[in-house]
């Protein structure tokens, strides 16, 4: 079915049921098997796709995360069946260098919502188990990694009213087009807002990330012992107050560029919001996990990436003096890739939540 089919189905749905919450719309726009951006269509995370991520930028990202997996393996006493689960594994650009960097082989599972990504993963990494549903997995000891996935989990949208209360934006149809309308806020959304957005001024728009907290709960259920590592754009609740200004952080991407309003052509573009890492950490600490929040540049540097940059740079300079020009270029591009991963206003400004049990 084509994308206009998805929009027509959403129009039919709101005509039948009345205005639907934005998170329900976003669920369909991203994950519907007949027209959702991830649920159907080609592989999205690649140079020719819609966005470029840290693992797609450089194999150094996955290779550096291998050091984290190694330290958890040792912390847990090298258990048999130690499992590496990557959620939203895309093309395999993170898992491939990670597994190459280890001198042992963990059981590895890639959980993917996209059929095209699942097929790409089976082709690229035949030894990796590929799954579409967390309910198919048993509990394990190991590490869960999710890079640029939680920002896609459906959000509700709330607006702070003049009197200090909240309204919720719902999706409605004014005829052929989808539009946003304001409605009373649902009780679960209100509870989330009270916990994580109490200081937002009137007129402020907030993406309420209930689905992200629920996702964290599902990952914790899977993890007997080990760590969950969430890497994404976003900030603490306080940081988001400044970052999102009044208009919220919801945006869309298509072919590497910011795209149109999320209600235009549902299914044709990525819909995403900055992750509220305080809310995500709270979902983990409430279940007894220890949480630590890093910036990506600090996290990767602690795992040795900055040292690797310096080493490549030294070798590049040595090759420049009396070595092989091709090798010099290869080292130069490695240095550039690492600088991109650590750039303080780019990927380096991403956040990394490490939740351990």
Ligand X SMILES: C[S@@+](CC[C@H](N)C(=O)[O-])C[C@H]1O[C@@H](n2cnc3c(N)ncnc32)[C@H](O)[C@@H]1O
User: Which residues bind to ligand X, rule: CB under 6 A?
Assistant: 38, 44-45, 51, 53, 55-56, 87-90, 93-94, 111-114, 117, 147-149, 152
Question: Between residues 148 and 276, which has the closer beta carbon with respect to ligand X?
Answer: 148
Rounded CA-CA distance 357/290 in Å is: 7
Q: What DSSP line would sit under 88-108, residue for residue?
A: S-TTSTTHHHHHHH-SS--EE
Of 148 and 297, which CB lies nearer to ligand X in the complex structure? 148
Nearer to ligand X, 137 or 181 (CB): 137
Instruction: State the Cα–Cα distance between residues 88 and 307, nearest whole angstrom.
Output: 29
Q: How far is the CB of 6 from ligand X (least distance, A)?
A: 16
Nearer to ligand X, 93 or 109 (CB): 93
Nearer to ligand X (CB atom), residue 134 or residue 287? 134
Q: How far is the CB of 231 from ligand X (least distance, A)?
A: 8
Token code pair at residue 150? 């939680």
Q: Are the beta carbons of 229 and 352 closer than 8 angstroms?
A: yes
Q: How far is the CB of 30 from ligand X (least distance, A)?
A: 7
- Residues 100, 127: contact at Cβ < 8 Å? no
| Shortest distance, position 23 Cβ to ligand X, whole Å | 13
Q: Which is nearer to ligand X, 87 or 171 (CB)?
A: 87
Q: How many CA atoms lie within 13 A of 286 on its CB side?
A: 12
Give the integer Cα–Cα distance in Å for 11 and 31: 17
> Which lies closer to ligand X via its Cβ, residue 90 or residue 226?
90
Q: CB of 60: closest distance to ligand X in angstroms? A: 14
From the CA atom positions of the chain, what is the Rg in Å? 21
Nearer to ligand X, 29 or 331 (CB): 29
**Cβ of residue 297: shortest distance to ligand X, in angstroms?**
17
Compare residues 111 and 159 and give the one whose CB is closer to ligand X: 111
CA atoms within 13 A on the CB side of 162: 0
Angle, helices 59-75 vs 305-322, to 10°: value is: 140
CB 319 within 8 A of CB 352: no
Give residue number: closest CB to ligand X: 88
Query: Cα-flanking dihedrals φ and ψ of residue 229, to 5°?
Result: -115, 115
DSSP 194-215: HHH-TTPPTT-EEEE-HHHHHH
The token pair that represents 356 in the structure block: 């351990």
| In the complex, minimum distance from the CB of residue 58 to ligand X, in angstroms, rounded to a whole number | 11
First and final CA of the chain: distance in angstroms?
A: 44
Q: To the nearest whole angstrom, how small is the minimum distance from the Cβ of residue 41 to ligand X? A: 10
Query: What's the chain's length in residues?
Result: 357
The overall longest dimension of the chain from CA atoms, in Å, is 74
Query: What is the nearest approach in angstroms of ligand X to the Cβ of residue 113?
Result: 4
Q: Which residues contact 3 (CB under 8 A, 6 or more apart)?
A: 35, 265, 266, 267, 268
């Amino acid at each position: 079915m084509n994308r206009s089919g998805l929009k027509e189905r959403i129009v039919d749905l709101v005509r039948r049921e009345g205005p639907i919450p934005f998170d329900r719309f976003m669920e369909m726009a991203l994950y519907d098997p007949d027209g959702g951006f991830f649920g159907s269509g080609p592989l999205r995370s690649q140079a020719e796709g819609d966005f470029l991520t840290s693992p797609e930028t450089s194999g150094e990202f996955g290779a550096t995360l291998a050091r984290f997996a190694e330290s958890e393996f040792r912390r847990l006493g090298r258990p048999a069946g130690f499992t590496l689960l990557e959620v939203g594994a895309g093309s395999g650009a993170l898992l491939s260098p990670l597994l190459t960097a280890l001198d042992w082989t963990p059981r590895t599972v890639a959980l993917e919502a996209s059929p095209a990504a699942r097929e790409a993963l089976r082709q690229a990494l035949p030894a990796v188990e590929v799954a579409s549903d967390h309910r198919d997995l048993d509990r394990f000891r190991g590490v869960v990694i999710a890079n640029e996935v939680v920002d896609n989990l459906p959000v509700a949208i709330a607006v702070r009213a003049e009197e200090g209360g909240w309204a919720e934006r719902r999706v409605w149809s004014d005829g052929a087009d989808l539009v946003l309308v304001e409605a009373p806020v649902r009780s679960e959304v209100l509870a989330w807002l009270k916990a994580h957005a109490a200081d937002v001024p009137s007129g402020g728009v907030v993406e309420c990330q209930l689905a992200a907290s629920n996702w964290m709960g599902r990952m914790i259920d899977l993890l007997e012992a080990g760590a969950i590592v969430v890497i994404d754009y976003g900030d603490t609740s306080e940081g988001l107050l400044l970052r999102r200004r009044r208009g919220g952080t919801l945006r869309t991407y298509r072919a590497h560029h910011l795209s149109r309003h999320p209600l235009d052509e549902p299914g044709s573009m990525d819909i995403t919001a900055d992750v509220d890492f305080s809310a995500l950490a709270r979902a983990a600490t409430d279940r007894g996990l220890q949480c630590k929040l890093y910036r990506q540049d600090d996290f990767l540097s602690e795992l040795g990436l900055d040292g690797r940059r310096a080493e490549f740079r030294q070798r590049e300079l040595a090759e420049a003096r009396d070595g092989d020009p091709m090798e010099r270029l290869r080292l130069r591009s490695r240095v550039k890739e690492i600088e991109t991963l650590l750039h303080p206003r780019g990927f380096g400004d991403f956040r990394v939540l490490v939740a351990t049990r």
